[in-house]
Amino acid sequence: MGAIRLGKIFGIEVRLHFSWVIIFFLVGYTLSFFYFPEQYEGLPQSTYITMGLITTFFFFASILFHEMSHSLVARRNGIPIRFITLFVFGGVSSIAKEPDSPNVELKMAAAGPAASLFLGVFFGAVGVAAALAGAGAPITGVAAYLAFINVLLAAFNLVPGFPLDGGRLLRALIWKLTGSIQRATKIAADFGRGVAVLLIAGGLFLVLTNYLVNGLWFIFIGWFLDQAARGSYQQVVVSQALSRVLVRDLMTPDPVTMPDDLTLRRAVDEYFLAHKHSGFPVTRNEEPVGVISLSDIRHVPQGEWDSVRVSQVMEPLGHGAVVEADNHVTDLLTRLHDRETDRLLVVDRNHHIAGIVTNDDIARYLRVQVALR
């Protein structure tokens, strides 16, 4: 939603959320017209703008570096990364599943702040070297700011509120101690919401004491963290509830199937009118080959119904359109999401149709589970 694709780095797709475009301008504007002119007086405005643009660019690159290091550590530990979205004050790596063990989570979470800390030291060293070489304020100023912002980024991300990196470290430790990812997530997310409340309260205080812009930033980040903390806890509860469930537990078994050599006339009379379903899986020699719905038939004039066959108008099964009955439901969710569809055919080991599963089946199962809790 609302993201621009930037390209791939190390095979990981990088996306830019629209909020980042706004942040980009805000940061660049604040640096060029307020921060640099106040810190380094007496330079021409064009120099401040150049400093602002360069700093903003490297600030952006620093966040990407931070996020990339999470992703690369995750991938090295066998957790596939689908893409990275950069937004607001950081980024989010879209990982296909939660880490399997607290140790993996520990490594993944530590990678980001470590990367930012490294950049902070790096830009600090560049600044010192530039100053020693006699470089002027434009260069040392940019380096000093980048050193400062990266250390700040590391520090902010180490705050122990889930889903910030510090919260992930906390979760990994509690998970290690208690053996329960759900309890660990609950505690770490509660910390996250606590931090969010502190940020919002601090922001209100700043607004009341005439630091309007800084105050609004605090409130905004606090609100964002609160949303993220709630969302990630619910996500863990849901994936825990589904983690032991197989596709066959949710599917509607033995759907009525239609052979692909049937004429449309017989398809309408013997299937659509007789069974009242709006769509049927189509088979050839017992194997699924497609899906047919009333809208596929509507395009064909009635006069041709005796000569046109189901195989000619059905929607053929594309790659990944079937799921095995013994797969985990989490695989099913990924598949439904990737294909942007709301139903999939389920097959058994011999590739015969075993059932059909829809988003509604999953929602119904979850409602029952939650109600019984």
- Could you tell me which stretch among 24-32, 44-52, 123-131, 151-159 binds Zn ion (CB under 5 A)? 151-159
Question: By rule CB under 5 A, what count of residues binds Zn ion?
Answer: 3
Give the dihedral sign, CA 132/136/142/144. Answer: positive
User: Is 223 within 8 Å of 193 (Cβ atoms)?
Assistant: no
- Active-site choice (13, 38, 41, 67): 67
Cα 344 to chain centroid, rounded: 23
- Could you tell me which stretch among 2-10, 111-119, 247-255, 308-316 binds Zn ion (CB under 5 A)? 111-119
How many C-beta atoms lie closer than 10 Å to residue 114's C-beta?
Answer: 16
Q: DSSP readout, 34-77?
A: IIHHHHSTT--HHHHHHHHHHHHHHHHHHHHHHHHHHHHHHHHT
The residue from 112, 161, 203, 279 that contacts Zn ion (CB under 5 A) is: 112
Q: Which of residues 71-100 bind Zn ion (CB under 5 A)?
A: none
Instruction: Between 165 and 296, name the residue whose CB sits nearer to Zn ion.
Output: 165
Beta bridge partners of 32: none
8-state DSSP, 321 = -
Instruction: Between 112 and 288, name the residue whose CB sits nearer to Zn ion.
Output: 112
Residue 67: active-site member:
yes
Angle between helices 137-157 and 102-132 (to 10 degrees): 160
- Could you tell me which stretch among 155-163, 184-192, 267-275, 286-294 binds Zn ion (CB under 5 A)? 155-163
Instruction: Between 112 and 127, name the residue whose CB sits nearer to Zn ion.
Output: 112
Q: Is 165 in the site for Zn ion (CB under 5 A)?
A: yes
The Cα 162–Cα 171 span in angstroms is 8
Smallest distance, Zn ion to C-beta of residue 94, A: 14
The one-letter amino acid code at 22 reads I
Helix (H) or strand (E) holding 280: strand 279-284
The Cα 365–Cα 136 span in angstroms is 65
Residue facing Zn ion at closest CB distance: 112
Smallest distance, Zn ion to C-beta of residue 113, A: 7
Smallest distance, Zn ion to C-beta of residue 70, A: 5
Smallest distance, Zn ion to C-beta of residue 91, A: 7
Q: Which of residues 23-52 bind Zn ion (CB under 5 A)?
A: none
Smallest distance, Zn ion to C-beta of residue 66, A: 5
The one-letter amino acid code at 190 reads D
Smallest distance, Zn ion to C-beta of residue 104, A: 15
- Could you tell me which stretch among 23-31, 127-135, 153-161, 232-240 binds Zn ion (CB under 5 A)? 153-161
Nearest to 254 by CA among 185, 346, 339, 123: 346
Beta bridge partners of 357: 344
Which positions are catalytic? Answer: 67
Chain residues in the site for Zn ion (CB under 5 A): 112, 157, 165
